[in-house]
Structure 1
């Protein structure tokens, strides 16, 4: 189980893992600044996800998943307001693009309660060793029984990975003027 102490290890790993992710490349088009901004953003997202669900880390931070509990998928306005200086610092000139992307993601959330696999990442240097799968498995085992799990991915190559864990594509869609994503749901265990 991830803790607040893990944030310093997980944030830079996730920044490396998502360096070429279509959503984050859209939000942060400047490739040079993206790593710095991603580290800051992931540090905030990790803290929020740990408060609103939990996380799992494998191999001392080589891979991690961050989950949000049923009814906690959306980050509330009060939390965003509380963290607004840090958000502005992390997002910089990408703030509007990030908020529009987040709103598009939230519009696609299932109507019924669900456990949200918000972030799953593996350090590029550790990929292919099953570590990302181990972090996903840990979250699925800990998920609330009888509750579906939901995620979205902008990487078509990841669909097969998630299908091996019981997820099915429920929709293919685009962020307005942005990348294509696939929504996926895993029925209750």
Structure 2
């Protein structure tokens, strides 16, 4: 299945944004960012479309053949978002977060603060449509990305706010390196690294 995963292009943007919105609808970090479930459902496709665009340069975007799972990767030196990195996407970000922009910046800054200081690949987003979960499609999308970057000799980093994801990531060779919380009542995250 990993061999059939392909690089996603601009034509896949809406499909990937919609599937990631469904995949992350009950994620603890997303619930913190968008506490109102109605607003969350409306704004998540916009958020993931913005992230899809942002990960185009210096990264990799992958999708399974029928579009059930997708991964967004950032290449070495591209992990940090930072305020300057947000400027080109300022209007879409403001439209997405509205009055919740402070929570969005708090999560972004906390993530940036926990990134490894050495060169690495960053598995920024990995998601599988809930209707297709349990079939190995999310794992296939991740394995395909890992195979594509295997020759780099660099570790791969990710973080998750959902403890249900830890078993999958550990089965793929990731190890928990840290656990931390976003300040002022934010969600708990686990940092994972694959050598």
**After TM superposition, what 4+ stretches of structure 1 lie above 2 angstroms from structure 2?**
75-79
Counting matched residue pairs gives 187
Distance 1:104 1:79, change over 3 A: closer
Q: Single out whichever of 31-40 and 79-88 deviates more from structure 2.
A: 79-88
Taking the aligned partners of 1:60 and 1:89, their CA distance within structure 2 comes to 30
RMSD: 1.1
**TM-score, normalising length from structure 2?**
0.93
State whether residues 180 and 188 of structure 2, in contact with CA within 8 Å, keep that contact through their aligned partners in structure 1: yes
Matched, 1:99 2:105: yes
Unaligned runs of 5+ in 2: 1-6
Matched, 1:175 2:189: no
Q: Which residue of 2 aligns with 1:153?
A: 160
Q: Single out whichever of 139-148 and 129-138 deviates more from structure 2.
A: 139-148
CA-CA distance at 1:76 after TM superposition: 4.8
Matched, 1:75 2:117: no
CA-CA distance at 1:155 after TM superposition: 1.1
**TM-score, normalising length from structure 1?**
0.95
Unaligned runs of 5+ in 1: none
Q: Which residue of 2 aligns with 1:186?
A: 194
Matched, 1:163 2:170: yes
Taking the aligned partners of 1:98 and 1:13, their CA distance within structure 2 comes to 21
State whether residues 81 and 108 of structure 2, in contact with CA within 8 Å, keep that contact through their aligned partners in structure 1: no
Distance 1:171 1:76, change over 3 A: closer
Secondary structure of 1:91's match?
Answer: helix
Secondary structure of 1:128's match?
Answer: coil
CA-CA distance at 1:109 after TM superposition: 0.4
Q: How does 1:117-156 map to 2 (within 5 A)?
A: 117-143=123-149, 144-156=151-163
Taking the aligned partners of 2:104 and 2:159, their CA distance within structure 1 comes to 16
Q: Which residue of 1 aligns with 2:56?
A: 50
